Amino acid sequence: MSTRDRLIKSALELLNAGEAISLESVAAAAGISRATAYRSVSGIPDLMASTYVAHAEHHLAELYRQLEGVEHTIDALEVVVIYTAQSLQSDPVLTTLFPGSGMPPHELTDKLAADSVRPIIARGQERGEIRADTDAMDITTWLFDSFARGLMDRRMDPEESSRMFRTFFVPALRPPTASTDPSRHDAAAEHLRSALSLLEGSD
């Protein structure tokens, strides 16, 4: 294992333990000198950025494993948002990637969302399973902003998370049809307002 990889591994261990992070503490945990650490990383921002990227990639790999054999786009999106929400509840490193955490690398959150959700939505749009009148990345951002982060705050169990997703979000994701009564769009919008109100509330 390279010196940089040893530093990343130790940084993750310290973050998971809720320990304060400094280059000195990470180097000590990795069993290397401060001078050797500085030959591998330029400083703590460089090390933390690499640490977050490595952890996000690990999260994506596990997510892709969860998605194996899931065919319909709605089912796949349900797996993604619920798995991510549950990970945010139990994973202190992943949690710091999200706005409101006080940590800086929120651009990694966008990358995580783009890598995990956008391809699924784009595929669903091609299949006619997801509405195509809205950009796939806009839908991705909406899902992460209003659902995954809301679940993190409310700490719903999987059954409640699934019910919320299916009841309030799926109607807004499905493509509108020519026969759809305009009033049904209003009803879907009202469902969404209700969902967001619930997600923003407290238990």
Q: Which amino acid is at 99?
A: P
> Over the stretch 43-98, which tens digit does the pLDDT of each residue have?
888 888 888 888 878 888 888 898 999 999 999 998 887 787 777 677 777 666 55
Tell whether 136 and 96 lie within a shared domain.
yes
Q: Read off the pLDDT band of 154 (50, 70, 90).
A: low
Sign of CA dihedral 132, 134, 137, 140: negative
Annotate 66-118 with DSSP letters as a single string: HHTT--SHHHHHHHHHHHHHHHHHH-HHHHTTSTTSS-S-THHHHHHHHHHTH
Domain housing 27: 1-51
Looking at the predicted structure, is the pLDDT value of residue 191 above 60?
no
Structural domain includes residue 87 = yes
- How many residues make up the chain in this entry? 203
Q: Are residue 31 and residue 114 in the same domain, yes or no? A: no
* 180 plus 85 within the same structural domain: yes
In whole angstroms, what is the distance from residue 60 CA to residue 117 CA? 10
Structural domains counted in the chain = 2
C-beta of residue 169 within 8 angstroms of C-beta of residue 147:
yes
pLDDT, tens digit, 9 for 90 and up, residues 83-138: 877 776 777 776 665 544 444 445 666 677 777 789 999 999 999 999 999 999 89
Q: Would you give the DSSP letter of residue 59?
A: H
Q: What is the pLDDT of residue 179?
A: 46
